[in-house]
Every structure is written in structure tokens, then in C-alpha cells.
Chains A and B, each alone.
Chain A
């Protein structure tokens, strides 16, 4: 045994274990995020719990089981003066009735265990006040009341479909059509302000603006009327009456229903279908209830738009700087220092880029732009406030070293013989670079760009200072010219995680959503990274064969 220690065997075992620990941590973490994120989409079974309170009062709880934990309860008869009692967290929904939608229940108060499924229970997801758990008693439509459970269910399905069609139509009209008109009217208001500021506001301009405004107002009125009609239709989609736990009834108007399902009656195939449709909803819906319900569509759009803009800024900047440094600049101490500085810039905390973005881009550049071009809109700032443009520029600076370093590496991998061959055939230096060197560096540039995008998509700290908000009223990307609105604030997946996880009033309700968002973000970033690694490996193979 002494020999064993002397040979340092234990150290080898330690070091082998640290590798295992790292691997276990990585995959454990990813697994946990995946599990907790995906389970959010799976239909939860609804349980029927009978609770006997110490006062003797009996109560029935119907809800989804979300968490279990052990609680120390004082007990003088137990060996340590306390014993452990399992506690269950139920999502009981019906927030408008009970006031809370999550509830801890001690197993000691339960009569007859946790494992009893509630038969034929219906879960209704609403636009407001969260879920409803209960049994359909009747469905009312145009004064007719259907009591037959089977027919009522069918009728409800039909009506909900109608209701959601109406809802999406209303949403489309209000958000997109009317939103566009409002944007144009605001544009006219600003134009008038500008004309007044330049003293160009004469009768002609006034008449023109008035005409345009009247035109828009007419469009607005038409749309408004259409929306009113739709609202009336939505009102008349009927109402469902449910029996909920505690022998109470709850009326839910159909136009408040997002969807409904019967988790305890689902077959596996139906569950899988439900699972995927939930994922779809998560991706394409707007957030509701202070971001704790609904989807993350605006955050996805915000992230993608910001990242794409950043890519547009960072690619030319990075590539030109890299070409300059490896092809044109004179080797020397200065260049080496610059190279080290750029390398090190990658290690500078991202929040420092954030304050630079805020101080320089927003407060100095933005304010100057406002004063020069948008002074008529002051004091309400146009570019002198955090927004999409500044966020993507800040991110471009942040990811610049990644692109430069990667491009430089690619440039240095192009064999000298190829360059010399080009020059020997009479091509100028720029022609050699453009026609021979750059095409061969393309994969390296792509790698750098993808890595830059992955980094920008996951970085939150600087964005908190330069343009991300928890709830943006408008998307930064829409169908109204100029399509990409550089001055707007936007939502971001990473910030969404921070905000919903930490600033939300209903932490328990929002946690599954945060896990789901985390999973989405992790998948995007891992996908990008894997792509970059694949490209890099291919590139290396390619040049290996070139070297010989």
C-alpha cells in the first residue's frame, strides 16, 4: 500500500476523477435543464387529493403535482426531536377563485395518498388568471345550454377553435395593422414638428399632412370597426360552466380560453402531440401575465435581430482588421502589442463593454445624432436612449476579437506557396488576397462569425445597459418601413431568463418557463458552437492535405 501511494497512484485516481466530475457536472447540468425545460411541455396528470385539516375540516384539492420536498417537523417521540414529512407542491390553478395557484400540502394531512387521478378532469388555459382545473358541467351557446358531457365537450372544442381564430385575427388587426397606422400617424406628428422647427410649415405642408392624417384616420376607423365586430363575435362564442374543487362552479367565457385539454384521458400518442404543440406555442406566442405565461416569440425575434445586426457590423470590421494585421502591417513590437491587446480584449469583462456602449454610443453618439437630425423630437430621445442599434454595436465590439483572431488564424494557415504562386503569375497583392487567400480563409471567417454569434446570443450583462427591456411594446422587426427599427428597445432570451427568474412576482409559476427558455437558449448556442467546431475541423483536414 505504501508503494501504491509512493508511486502516486492515488493522484492518478484523483485526476481521473476530476475529469469524471467535470464531465458529470456538464452533462448533469445539461440534462437537468433539458429535463426541467421539456417537462414543462408534457401534459401533467391532475390529481385528486383529500385533505383533513387539524381542525377537522375536510377539503378536496385538484391539481398538478409540481414538486416534493422533505420538511422537518418537531416530534418529541422521534429520536432527534424531529422527523421528516414529505411535502407536495400542487398547482391548483383557478387563481381568480383561490387567490393563489400553487399550494404546499403536507402528506400528514392527506387522506389516502397522492396517487389518485381525477377522472375526466378538464384543464383550461386562459389568457388571464392562469389555468382552470375542473369538470365541465355545461356549455352555454346563444342561450342554449348543453348538459350532456360528451356533446358539451365537442361543442367546447368547436367554440374554442372559433374563439382562438377570432383571437388571432383580432390580434393581427390590433397589433400589426392598427400598430402600423399608429406608427405612421406618429411619423406624421414628428414630421410636423420637424417642419415647424425648420420654419417650413406652410399652408401646403399643412394641407398635405392633414390629408395624409385624414387618410390614415379613415383606415384606422375602418379597422377599428372591424375589430369591434370581431370582439362582438368573440363575445358570443358562449361560456363554459365548470365544477371546481370545493363544490364550486366557475363560468369561463370561451373567448378567454387559450386552449383546453383532458390530461388524464390522454393516450401516449395524444400526449406526444400535446407536447409538440406546446413547444410550438412556446416558440410562437407572445408572453402573457408579466412574462410568466405564454411564449417567448418577441424575445426570439429580439435576440435574432440583434445578433444579425451585430454580425453585419462585426464581419467587415474583423476581417479588415485581420487582413491588415497579417498581410499589410509591418511585423514589429507595435504589432505584437496590438495583437496581444486584441487577444486580451476577449478577456475584458462584458459589463465594461456595456458601460462603454452606454457612455459612448448612447450618451455621446446618440445624443449628438438626436441633436443633429432629430432635434424636432427632443426632449423625447430617438437615438439618445438605449436601443437596438447601440446594443448590436456594443456586441460587435465585444465579439470583434473572436472574429479577428479566428480570421488571422485562417490567414496564417493558407500555405505560403499559394500566395507566392499568385504573385509569380503576375497578380497584384490585392488580387492575390481577394482571389486566393480570402476564399481559402472563408471557413475560418465563418467559424469566427458563428462563435461571435454564439457569444453575443448568450451575453446579457452589457445588454442590460444598452437596450434590452423586459417587455417591448413593439418588435424591432416588422412590416412597416424601414422594417428594422434601430431605435427601438427589444427583448432578449437571456435577459428574459434573468427577468422572469428574478423579478417576477410569481416565482413558482414562472420557473418552468425559465427552464424552458434556458433550454432554448442552450440549444441555440450549443448548435452554433457545434457548427463552428465542425467547420473548423473540416478546415483543418483541408489544409492538412494541402501541406503535403
Chain B
């Protein structure tokens, strides 16, 4: 280096300019370090966000209801009169109260200020019986002292004076203001139900032990909007004891006469002219007295409150003789004091109770959830009603106070027991696992059992593993241990090619080609399982007896190529045997034989199709990891074993497989994880019916396919939406745990043998 360059160098490396440059570079360096760190952490956070987001959507399912007291005031209208009914509008601005004197008072919920008052047109008679015809339609029926019945419908008129929403409660008479004359003496008990075309009245007159049943047809009036009733069938039934509650269910077929002691008569009215006593039984445990009885939403389940503070749910169930009998379904322990009132929700199977200790309790029947308990007052609470959307309640206390509650209760219908346990749904003959998330009717009981879906998921995964594991593991063993390098170089990528195939194509082929083909050649697929292995062994034996010259033509490492035409021929042979087999053993049609002779249900898209199609998709995952594990077994272990005189296979079983077993285990875990989450193949080839059958010839619905089917239709933030997210979370955790397990095992193995 001459002095000139030295000088130039020194100049360049000193001075303010150089300092500035260094500063700039350092600044740039730390800036990019900062930027990359922020970005990197951000991306990692985004990834973790997925899990937390799933949790965030799912968690509200398990939050208990909150009940807040909004206002308290003196019962509007006449305090001395007993309340028959309360109604509240859906905005919880106004409410109305019917009293036993036939007065309707509309009032503001915020302060109890009276805003309207109407008297029912009773024509001087007094109300002696009262029943709710339909909670959903707001239709009420009043039995009168003169033997008549008045039907009244309450509602709310909404107007916008000065752009402010103003709601006024009102009463209408869809059947006219005239009293419907049923009998000529006082009606003491009354039950009324209607459907599209008919209305049925059941009533008891004072002093009579008989109950009259009268059916009317509904005809639209030519002159007004009112409906005219046309008398139809009539009959009567005998009560065995005191009738304190008279309940007719929504189908108008089941009539219950219940006494205070809990003794009930159950009549079948399906033939209106000849009512039939089905059962005479006691609905309560000994020593308990009935205090309240009413229907749950849908007018099917009986909700019975007792003086020991328990609510019992009963409904008729079809027994093995195909006859209905009342069945105790479940009970809810409220407290120790007698239940004074039960109110039901109008959109869900929830209900609220009040008792003599002044407590207000909120339940959901299907989910068996006790959602909330609040103390209303020290006085007994005597009456309760729920707002039409289930988000509010009015409770009347014995000292004439009315309390308005605001309720936050978004997902009462989901609980751990309803998600995973057997639930006895209305209309089912026994408790069962059912997934049925939606229906057209409004009083539908959603059935959110994840068990059939989880079962279907596991069934699909297990059947496909049954196909994939033997093929993939054996193929990996051969490829890694016996195959020569040259063949291995193209065999390995070809098998791994399957992984790249879009599963939608596999699903399409499975659903539209394999399923019908398999249905037509069912015995052929079973003969595959026998013919191919036997044929392979036979070929091997034959090979061993060939002259050495020919045998040496194909070394062990190339046997896979040799076997390609052999397995093609064997497979073809096996499928050709389908028809002869079918004719010999299965009367010419195996499908028919299965259904009628063996009693096994058969669907075209079944677990066997899934087993083949999804099993095929799982092969590369298992193959690739197993192959790696075996290939990486240190060669001196193998050489040692071979040197000691073990055969190739003996070395493999005795030395290689034990060493590689953690790797094989993790391969199987990975394959299982993939099988659990696979969506398109199952969606297209499984039939998607949520069954709980392990039958090979029936389909299933998996968690993943269920998400694909139902997610687009689920309303945001509904229970259905959140339950679907829960199934997504289950899938996520499931696969995450399996993959982590596999990964940890693999890393441990790598560390162990990496050092060898």
C-alpha cells in the first residue's frame, strides 16, 4: 500500500462525513431491525389471533344470563283485583294487564303510568275461567259466568307522532265481540286451542264432573274481517277427581286433567267423537302438591310447579307398542318455597319461575340450564311474564308491586349437556344425540348435539386410516429400506404428488364415479381385499421357484416395478369376480341382499367410499413422514444386524422399525389430523346425514362438512352461529394437539439420532 492510498483511506474513514454515514447506516440498521421485529411479531400475532377469535366467538355461549332491575312501581289498575295476564311489547316500552274483572290496563314499563284502559264486552257476566289460547298469537279466552266464552287478542298499535315511536296496547276480537255461547251455566275450567281451520273448546261447568269438548270450524266472514265459528263435533269426558288445571295441547289431540295432588287423566282426543282415556297417573312424587301447571312453548311439554320448589317437565312419548304415554323428562330444582308462577319465552324453550320466597329464576328446558336467580322482594312473588323476545320480565309481588327486569340472555339453549350428552327432545321416544339446527317452524326446538358430528368425523377418519395406514406405511418401508436409489427418486415424488391433488377433484370422483361404481360392484371390492394379498403371496412363492437366472433379472430393489402389472391384473381379476360372486352368494344383487337378508342399511355414498377416497388422500402424508423416519435410521445399525446374519426383513422388524417407531407414530398422527379436517371429499361423497352408526355402508356428517354446509346460512351471533364456531374450535384444537404431538415426537427423535 503506498502512502497515497493510505492517506485517501484515512481521509475516507475519518471526518464528519464518514461519521454521518456510519450514523445513517446504524440508524437504518436499527430501523430495519425494529421494522422486521414489529412485522414478524405482528404476523405471528395474526396467526395466534385465529385461535383467540374462535374462542371470542364461542365464549358467549357459556355466559349465564344477567338480570337487571329496571323499575318498580305499584301494579297499575285495580290492585285488589287478581291479575289474569300480563303482556309486554317487544321494545319493552309498554305492557298490559288483564284483571279478573275484565279490565285491560295499558301502562308504561318505565314508571307504571297508565296509558290506556279498556273493558272487555262481558255483557254483565263475570269472568270465571281464563286460558291462553296461543302465546305466539296473543290470543286469550275468557270463560264466563253465563256459560259463554269470549276470545280476545291483545296487541300494540305503533304510531310515530313527531317522529317519536309511541306504542299503545289494545284489544281486538278476531271472532267478533259477541260471546260464544257454549253452555248455560257457569264455566269453571276452560281450555281452548286452535289451528288453521279449527278451534276446540274444552270446559267444565260448575258442579259437573263432566268436561265438554266442542269443536268449531273457522270460516271467514263475508261481511267483516272477523271469523265465524261453525259448530262441528262435540263429546264429553268424565273426570275421575278434582280438575284444577285443564290443559289441551297444541295439536288438539292430547287433553290433560290435573288435580292439586298431581293426579292426572290423559285423554286422547284424536277421534273427537270418542275421547279415550290413555292414562291415569300421578305426576308428582309423594308428598308434593301441584301449584302451577302450564305448557312450554309449542304447547307440547307440561311444566308443573310444586309446593316443594321443583318444576317438573312431562310430555307424551311413543312407547314400543306405538302408543303414547306421559313421561317424566326432567326436573328443575328452584328452591324450597312453593312455585307461584311460570312464564315461558315466545321464541325459545326457556321459562321463568317465581315462588313464595320472592325469587325469580330463569331456566332453559332443553339445555337444562339454570340461567339466573334474583330476589324480587321479601314478599312472595305471585305472577311473572316474559317479554316476547325473552329479554325482559315483569314480576308481580304479593304486596302489589310490579317489577320490570331487563334480561341479557342470548344463548340459553346451549350447554355442555346439550352439546355432548343425550337429550330428550320433544316428540322423541328416548333421549338421543341429534343434530338438527334449523327448521321452518317458529316453535322449533334446535338440536345442537355435537356428538353425531364428532362421531361422523372420527368414523370417516378411522375408515380412511384403515385403508391408508397399511398401504402408506408398508410402501414407505419398502421405499426407504429396500428400494434402490434410482427407483426411489421417481417413486417418492409420484406418491407425494397425491398431496398436491385438489381434494375437490377427489371428492367429485368419489361421489360421482366411485360411489355408483362401488354400488354396482360391491362384492368385487371385498374380493379385492382377499384376491390381491393372496395373489401377491402366490406370485412371490412362484417367483422363489423360478430359475435363478430369471430371478436375478429383478433385484429386490426393483420389485415394486415388477409388481405394477401384477397388481393391475390382480385388481382387474378381483373386480371381474364381482358378478359371479354376487350371483353365487348374494342372489344376484348384494345391495338388495344386504338390506333385506342381512338387515344392514345401505347408502350409495357411504363410509366405504369415504374410506377409499379419503384414505387415498391421506397416503402421501403418512408415506412421506414414515419414509423419512426409516430412511434416517443410522446405517451402522442396519449393517450390524445384517452382519450378524439377520435377513433383510428380520433387520427391518428387529432394528429399523423400533428405531423409527416414533416417526411412524407421528406420521399416523399427522394422517389422522388431516383426515379429521378434510372437508371437500366428505362433503361430496358422504351423504351428509348426521347418523350415529358405525355401519360401513352408511354415510355420516363430519364437523368440517357441517361447517361448509351450514355456515353460510347461520345468522350472525345466533346460537347456531356460535355452535358452528365451537365445532370449528373443536376441529382446530383437535388437529393442533395431534400435530403438536407428532411434531414434538419427531423433533425429539431427530435430536436423538442426529447425534448418533
On A, residues with C-beta under 8 Å from B are: 1, 4, 7-27, 29, 32-33, 69-70, 72, 79-82, 84, 316-318, 320-321, 323-325, 327-329, 338, 340-345, 347-356, 358-360, 363, 397, 400, 404, 428-431, 433-434, 454, 457-461, 464-465, 494-495, 497-498, 501-502, 507, 511, 514, 518, 521-522, 525-526, 529, 533
Contact A19 B560 (CB under 8 A): yes
What are 24 A-B contacts with C-beta separation under 8 Å? A4-B544, A10-B536, A14-B536, A19-B479, A23-B491, A23-B560, A81-B588, A317-B46, A328-B36, A344-B736, A344-B743, A345-B47, A345-B50, A348-B677, A350-B677, A354-B707, A428-B29, A461-B708, A494-B504, A498-B680, A498-B684, A501-B684, A502-B511, A502-B684
A343 to B625, CA, bound (A): 14
The reply to whether A464 and B511 form a contact with Cβ atoms under 8 Å apart is no
Contact of A321 among B40, B472, B735 (CB under 8 A): B40
* A354 to B649 alpha-carbon distance, docked (Å): 46
Docked-complex contact B482 and A356, CB < 8 angstroms = no
Q: In the bound complex, what is the Cα–Cα distance between A498 and B503 (angstroms)?
A: 10
| In the complex, B493 has a CB within 8 A of chain A | yes
CA A23 to CA B49, docked complex, whole Å: 40
B477 and A323 contact, CB distance less than 8 A: no
Residues of A within 8 A of B483 (CB): 19
* Among candidates A10, A15, A33, residue contacting B478 with C-beta atoms closer than 8 Å: A15
**B454 close to A (CB within 8 Å):** no
Enumerate B648-678 residues with CB–CB distance to A below 8 Å.
648-650, 652-653, 670, 673-674, 676-678
B711 touches A355 (CB 8 A): yes
> With A and B bound together, what is the CA distance between A478 and B736 in angstroms?
41
Q: Which residues of A contact B560 (CB under 8 A)?
A: 16-17, 19-20, 23
Interface contact A324-B37, CB-CB below 8 Å: yes
Once the chains bind, are A19 and B491 in contact (CB under 8 Å)?
yes
Given contacts A352-B728, A354-B707, A494-B502, contact A22 B735 (CB under 8 A): no
Complex: A22 Cα to B470 Cα, angstroms? 11
Contact with A along B674-692 (1 / 0, CB 8 A): 1011111001100000000
With A33-B505, A356-B54 in contact, do A454 and B500 touch (Cβ < 8 Å)?
yes
Q: Is B509 part of the contact surface with A, judged by Cβ < 8 Å?
A: yes
Whether the pair B500, A529 counts as a contact (CB closer than 8 A) is yes
Task: List the B residue with the shortest CB-CB distance to A21.
Answer: B567
On whether the beta carbons of A15 and B731 are closer than 8 Å, the reply is: no
> Within the assembled complex, what's the spacing in Å between the Cα atoms of A25 and B620?
12
Shortest Cβ distance from B692 into chain A, in angstroms?
22
* Chain B residues whose CB sits within 8 angstroms of the CB of A454 once the complex forms: 500
Binary contact readout B613-624 vs A (1 if CB under 8 angstroms, 0 otherwise): 000100100010
Interface secondary structure of A, over-half rule: helix
A79–B588 Cα distance when bound, in Å, is 11
Return chain A residues, CB-CB under 8 Å to B536: 10, 13-14, 17
Given known contacts A11-B649, A82-B588, A363-B716, is B50 in contact with A428 (CB within 8 Å)?
A: no
Inter-chain contacts of A522 with B (CB < 8 A): 501-502, 505
Q: Are B29 and A324 in contact (CB under 8 A)?
A: no
Tell me whether B40 and A348 are in contact (CB under 8 A): no
A428 to B503, CA, bound (A): 47
Expressed in whole angstroms, the Cα–Cα distance for A243 and B561 within the complex equals 55
Give CA–CA (A360, B53) in the complex, Å: 7
Q: CB distance A324 to B39 under 8 Å?
A: yes
Once bound together, how far apart are the Cα atoms of A24 and B33, in whole Å? Answer: 51
Question: Which of the residues B505, B568, B589, B649 comes within 8 Å of A9, measured between beta carbons?
Answer: B649
* A327 and B670 alpha carbons, distance in the complex (Å): 29
Residue numbers in A under 8 Å from B493 (CB-CB) = 533
A-B CB proximity, top 5 nearest: A324-B40, A349-B677, A8-B649, A458-B502, A15-B478
A347 touches B670 (CB 8 A): yes
Q: How far is the CA of A434 from the CA of B683 in the complex (A)?
A: 46
Residue pair B482, A15 in contact (C-beta under 8 Å): yes
Given contacts A84-B579, A329-B40, A349-B678, contact A15 B474 (CB under 8 A): yes
* Interface membership of B57, Cβ < 8 A: yes
Assembled-state Cα–Cα distance A29/B25 (Å): 57
Which residues of chain B from 568 to 608 have a CB within 8 Å of any chain A CB?
568, 571, 579, 583, 588-589
Give the distance in Å from the alpha carbon of A24 to the alpha carbon of B528 in the complex: 15
Contact-residue bracket for chain B: 35 or more
> What residues make up the interface of B, taking CB atoms closer than 8 Å to A?
25-26, 28-29, 32-33, 36-37, 39-41, 43-44, 46-50, 53-54, 57, 470-472, 474-475, 477-479, 482-483, 491, 493-495, 497-498, 500-505, 507-509, 511-512, 520, 532-533, 536-537, 539-541, 543-544, 556, 559-564, 566-568, 571, 579, 583, 588-589, 616, 619, 623, 647-650, 652-653, 670, 673-674, 676-680, 683-684, 704, 707-708, 711-712, 716, 724-725, 728, 731-732, 735-736, 738-740, 743-744
Judge whether A22 and B508 touch: CB under 8 Å: no
Shortest Cβ gap from A518 to chain B (Å): 5
| Contact of A20 with B500 in the complex, beta carbons under 8 Å | no
Inside 8 A of A18's CB, which chain B residues have their CB? 470-472, 474-475, 478
Q: Per a CB cutoff under 8 Å, which of A82, A347, A363, A507 touches B673?
A: A347
Which residue of the partner chain, among B32, B502, B571, B744, contacts A340 with CB atoms under 8 Å?
Answer: B744
A220 → B minimal CB distance (Å): 35
- Nearest A residue to B584 via CB reads A80
| A272 nearest CB across to chain B (Å) | 27
| Interface pair A26/B494, CB less than 8 Å apart | yes
B512 touches A511 (CB 8 A): yes
Q: In the assembly, what is the distance between CA of A328 and CA of B38, in Å?
A: 11
Looking at chain B's contact residues, the main secondary structure is: helix
Neighbour of B502 across the interface among A81, A342, A430, A521, CB < 8 A = A521
CA–CA, A22 and B39, complex, Å: 43
- Contact partner, A338, options B44, B623, B683, B736, Cβ 8 Å: B44
Contacts of A521 in B (CB 8 A): 502, 504-505
Would you call B653 and A8 a contact (CB within 8 A)? yes
Q: A18-B470, A81-B588 are in contact. Are A458 and B731 (CB under 8 A)?
A: no
User: How long is the Cα–Cα vector from A187 to B536 in the complex, in angstroms?
Assistant: 70
Given contact pairs A349-B677, A511-B512, A518-B508, enumerate 8 new A-B contacts (beta carbons under 8 Å).
A19-B478, A22-B494, A72-B589, A344-B736, A348-B739, A360-B53, A514-B512, A522-B501
**Which residues of chain A have C-beta atoms less than 8 A from B623's C-beta?**
22
**Which residues of B lie under 8 Å from residue A72 when comparing CB positions?**
588-589
For A11, what are the chain B residues with a Cβ–Cβ distance below 8 Å?
A: 649
Q: Are B508 and A514 in contact (CB under 8 A)?
A: yes
Residues of B within 8 A of A353 (CB): 50
Contact between A347 and B478 (Cβ–Cβ < 8 Å)? no
Cα of A324 to Cα of B511 in the assembled complex, Å: 45
B610 to chain A, nearest CB (A): 15
Q: Nearest A residue to B35 by beta-carbon distance?
A: A320
Which residues of chain B are near A323, meaning CB under 8 Å?
A: 36, 40
- Report if A465-B50 is in contact (Cβ < 8 Å); known contacts: A320-B36, A498-B508, A521-B505: no
Alpha-carbon distance between A15 and B588 when the two chains are bound, in angstroms: 35
Q: Do B711 and A1 touch (CB < 8 A)?
A: no
Q: In the complex, what distance in Å separates the CA atom of A338 from the CA atom of B740? A: 11
CB contact between B616 and one of A4, A25, A397, A514 (< 8 Å): that residue: A25
**Nearest residue, chain B, Cβ from A13:** B540
Cβ B41 vs Cβ A526 within 8 A: no
Is B680 in contact with A344, judged by CB distance below 8 angstroms?
A: no
What is the CA–CA distance of A457 and B474 in the complex, to the nearest angstrom?
Answer: 31
Assess whether A320 is in contact with B40, with CB atoms less than 8 Å apart.
yes
Contacting residues, chain A, for B571 (C-beta < 8 A): 24
Which one, B40, B43, B744, contacts A328 given CB within 8 A?
Answer: B40
B32→A348 contact, CB < 8 A: no
CA distance A355 to B677 in the complex (A): 13
Chain B residue with Cβ nearest A357: B50
Q: How far is the CA of A154 from the CA of B566 in the complex (A)?
A: 54
Residue of A nearest to B560 (CB): A19
Chain A residues near B498: list those with CB within 8 A: 22, 25-26
A324 touching B670 by the CB < 8 A rule? no
- Docked Cα-Cα span, A23 to B493, in Å, equals 10
Q: How far is the CA of A459 from the CA of B48 in the complex (A)?
A: 22
For A26, what are the chain B residues with a Cβ–Cβ distance below 8 Å?
494-495, 497-498
A343 CA / B653 CA spacing, docked (Å): 31
